[in-house]
């Protein structure tokens, strides 16, 4: 049973992976692909809080490089707006969520040991 669940998750990553390279309408463009919590309603949205829990799954499934990109997206938003919005939509720029950024950085660093990347995130 556990094996079938993991296989399902492995196949599902592709369905919820999106990329918004440029600002488009209400969406804030992000430099890297990311995981959305849904392939339908929230497609093309990277949520701040959800990203932490997604990253926990990514790093243990051998996708630490992908997780790096998601953290870099949040750093990009912070550099651009002085806040990490709750999701990559312009109307969310004044709204954030529980501060998980440093925890995300630590998780990725723990799995990669990439000191150069860590310094870039500081």
Q: Report the 3 state secondary structure along the chain.
A: CHHHHHHHHHHHHHHHEECCCCCECCECCCCCCEECCCCCCCCCCCEHHHHHHHHHHHHHCCCHHHHHHHHHHHHHHHHHHCCCCCECEHHHCCCCCCCCHHHHHHHHHHHHCCHHHHHHHC
pLDDT at 1 over 70: no
Q: What is the pTM of this model?
A: 0.94
Q: What is the pLDDT of residues 38-90, one digit of tens each?
A: 999 999 999 999 999 999 999 999 999 999 999 999 999 999 999 999 999 99
Query: What's the pLDDT score for residue 70?
Result: 99
Residue 16: pLDDT above 90? yes
């Amino acid at each position: 049973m556990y094996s079938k669940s993991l296989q399902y998750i492995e196949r599902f990553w592709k369905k919820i992976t999106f990329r918004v390279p440029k600002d488009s309408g209400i969406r804030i463009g992000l430099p890297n692909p990311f995981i959305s919590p849904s392939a339908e309603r929230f497609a093309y949205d990277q949520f701040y809080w959800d990203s932490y829990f997604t990253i926990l799954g990514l790093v243990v499934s051998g996708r630490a490089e992908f997780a790096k990109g998601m953290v870099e997206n949040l750093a990009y938003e912070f550099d651009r707006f002085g806040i990490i919005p709750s999701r990559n939509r312009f109307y969310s720029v004044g709204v954030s969520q529980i501060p998980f950024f440093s925890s995300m950085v630590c998780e990725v660093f723990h799995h990669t040991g990439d000191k150069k990347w860590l310094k870039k995130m500081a």
